[in-house]
Amino acid sequence: MLLPILCYPDKKLRTIAKPVEAVNDAIKTQVKSMFETMYDAPGIGLAATQVDFHQRVIVIDVSDEQDQPLCLINPEIIEKSGEIEWEEGCLSVPNYYESVKRANDIKVRALDQNGEEFEMEASEILAVCIQHEIDHLNGILFVDHISKLKQKRLKEKANKQARL
């Protein structure tokens, strides 16, 4: 089932997601709908916050063929190193791209969609995507990483679009 994606400056995007207590059928259904929504958008990552579901769930697929789905429930970054600057976009901030600096290499611990705990290492675009989506779970948007002037211009443009 396709889910509506919240768009900036919707205040719900600032909600801090709560940890998932149990990976049950409702969570599994949510994950499935999030993957469908992400692929349809199309995007490479989607946080539950973006679809107005305020629990710590993210889905990602950075593969060109969109055949490497990755679900992280209650993700936490346990190590990070290096630095990379990447031009990011966001399904909640359509048609806007900006360079953001993030850690190049991360190690993350999470639950998969079956509730099994795992750890993984990621670098470059996958690391950027994971950090971007975890930010969403913490009520942070990638535009929070850009200059105040660019934020002001973007907010004015978004508010104008919302009125149309």
Positions marked active-site: 133
DSSP 90-141: ETTEEEEEEEEEE-SEEEEEEE-TTS-EEEEEEEHHHHHHHHHHHHHHTT--
Cβ 3 vs Cβ 34: under 8 Å: yes
Which helix (H) or strand (E) segment holds residue 80: the answer is: strand 70-81
Q: Which amino acid is at 25?
A: D
Can you tell me the distance from the alpha carbon of 37 to that of 33, in angstroms, rounded to the nearest whole number? 6
Query: What is the torsion angle, in degrees rounded to the nearest 10, for the CA atoms of residue 59, residue 115, residue 14 and residue 140?
Result: -60
Can you tell me the distance from the alpha carbon of 54 to that of 164, in angstroms, rounded to the nearest whole number? 28
